[in-house]
Amino acid sequence: MTQSPPKITKAVIPAAGLGTRFLPATKATPKEMLPVVDKPAIQYVVEEAVAAGLDDVLMVTGRNKRPLEDHFDRNYELESALAKKGDESRLAKVQESSDLATMHYVRQGDPRGLGHAVLCAAPHVGREPFAVLLGDDLIDPRDPLLQRMVEVQEEHGGSVIALMEVAPEQVHLYGCAAVKPTGDSDVVEVTGLVEKPEPADAPSNYAIIGRYVLDPHIFDILRKTEPGRGGEIQLTDALQQLAATHQSAAAATEKIGGPVHGVVFEGRRYDTGDRGDYLRAIVRLACEREDLGPDFKAWLRSYVTEEM
Ligand code: G1P
């Protein structure tokens, strides 16, 4: 009897970064806690994992990240105060984040790069495929990406990354993929990867955005990955090795770690680590909210026509 592949249930969220682009707001508050309308940015990311069926969430944190743990935990004092007042709707909002997922935390200690943060998840993840979600990337909840990536992983095995076409002058801000087409219009096979290339060295304009579904073999590679761009252990470099091994062994029977595929995303994505994009995310999501949208849009229209 053949065993069906393990179902993906675990999500890893690296959250040890210092958030220097948002100083002074992030001096004493983790950048992940900055509100997008009225929810901290990180809650959207956990909700996205849960919506894709991953309700075991490991956050890789560091010093000064206690508010993250508190946000996803119960707050009995606040809950009983709201219950006493009979404020059911706010009570539900407070309880929502603690009921979302089973949360786990591990500390990165020494911030040695994204690859190193992912490696910190190895003892928790074990030998199953798992997802990685970067907190700075906010994917609009109406444009599901992770579900599609999980589906593609279930079909092809190996690892799956999220790709987005960007303008050539933007490529140096991202990991960049060399790809070839597959039978599915939104799926490509990744033949090579380079982290933040100079424009002349970019193999394409397919940029990696912060969603990954990874084969656990990535841990074995990360343990041996030398610091790369910026002196950091890069996840992109480890994925490049996975892709290269698969390409070279493609004809052989042993395909350690499996292929690397890319899902090409054409939906709405905001880089909440960038101040301009953070503001755009707030305006857009606020406009679309049933409770706030109508008034806010009316004000925005008059502001734009009268003041700008
Ligand atoms: C990281 C990855 C990069 C990827 C990006 C997506 O870079 O190293 O390959 O394109 O996330 O947001 P960072 O933005 O953390 O420097």
Instruction: Look at the chain and report how many structural domains it folds into.
Output: 2
- The structure tokens 């033949």 sit at 191
Indicate the residue type of 138. Answer: L
Looking at the fold, whether 252 and 297 belong to one and the same domain comes out as: no
Residue 1 has pLDDT above 60, yes or no: no
Residue-wise pLDDT for 159-216, tens only, equals: 999 999 999 999 999 999 999 999 999 999 999 999 999 988 999 999 999 999 999 9
Phi and psi angles of residue 266, each rounded to the nearest 5 degrees, phi first:
-120, 10
Q: Does 300 lie in the same domain as 186?
A: no
Same domain (yes/no): 284, 140? no
CA of 209 to the centre of ligand 1 (A): 7
Residues 293 and 200 in one domain: no
Whether the pTM exceeds 0.85: the reply is yes
The verdict on 175 and 287 lying in the same domain is no
Which mutation among 13, 208, 269 tests ligand 1's pocket best, with the greatest number of atoms within 8 A of CB? 208
Using pLDDT thresholds of 50, 70 and 90, give the confidence band for residue 111: confident
Residue 152 in this model has a pLDDT that exceeds 90? yes
CA–centroid distance, residue 208 to ligand 1 (Å)? 7
Instruction: Say what the pLDDT of residue 247 is.
Output: 81
Q: How far is the CA of 114 from the centre of ligand 1 (A)?
A: 8
Average pLDDT over residues 236-253: 82
Q: Do residue 122 and residue 229 come from a single domain?
A: yes
Residue 121 has pLDDT above 90, yes or no: yes
Q: What is the pLDDT of residue 278?
A: 95
CATH value at residue 159 = 3.90.550.10
- 299 and 152 part of one domain: no
Q: Evaluate whether residue 2 is within a structural domain.
A: no
Instruction: Look at residue 1 and tell me if it is in a domain.
Output: no
Confirm whether 149 is domain-assigned. yes
Determine the atom of ligand 1 nearest the C-alpha atom of 236.
9
Do residue 116 and residue 247 come from a single domain? yes
Question: How far is residue 197's CA from residue 202's CA, in Å, rounded to a whole number?
Answer: 5
| Residues having CB within 6 Å of any atom of ligand 1 | 114, 134, 136-137, 174-175, 195, 207-210, 234-236
Q: Is 237's pLDDT higher than 70?
A: yes
CA of 175 to the centre of ligand 1 (A): 6
In this structure, the number of other CB atoms found within 10 A of the CB of residue 236 comes to 22
Residue 300 and residue 247 in one domain = no
Judgement on whether residues 155 and 269 belong to the same structural domain of the protein: yes
- pLDDT for the residue numbered 253: 56
User: Domain check: are 262 and 306 in the same one?
Assistant: no
Domain span holding position 146: 10-273
